[in-house]
Amino acid sequence: MKIRFENREKFKVCGYKIVSNEENFERDVEPLWKKHENELRKIPESKSCLYGVTGYIDETQEQYFYLAGVETDNPQDDMICIEIPAAHFVVVSIPKEMTRLEAWWKYFEDVPAKGYAPDESHGIHFEFYDKNGNFEIWTPVKPNRG
């Protein structure tokens, strides 16, 4: 896994959302992608790039949402839009043979070891899938002061 850091201005992702928890996450997310991936790729602004956006529902951090979507200013009527706030992100490139769940577990091992911690005040992480099938995890970070 390759790690880099990027600043990104706020942007909007629109798509289809579920609410889940850690135990059911994979079971809930896969059908969401199967149902909507082809239709998301047809949106002109998508440039065939997709996002999987995750954030907690409330401060208990027991449930969170997952939105499968695209970056667009012209969502379809049945889409939900989320604004991703500007932040300093750690970006991890994921090998194609690694599953989404394996990638997140590996991410939470490697990134803290580099001296960074997720910026919980931001609250949103996202997966980015480019048109070539490459997969990245983007998480807002701040220096880990111990």
Query: What pTM, to 2 d.p., does this model score?
Result: 0.84
- Nearest 5°: the CA angle 69, 22, 68 is 5
Cα–Cα distance, 93 to 96 (Å, whole number): 9
Q: CA–CA distance from 17 to each of 40, 54, 90, 111, 114 (Å)? A: 13, 10, 24, 27, 32
Give, for all 146 residues of the chain, the pLDDT tens digit. Answer: 678 889 999 999 999 999 998 888 888 999 999 999 988 988 887 777 999 999 888 777 678 899 999 998 888 889 999 999 999 998 888 877 776 666 766 666 766 666 777 777 777 889 999 888 888 989 898 765 54
32 residue type, one letter: L
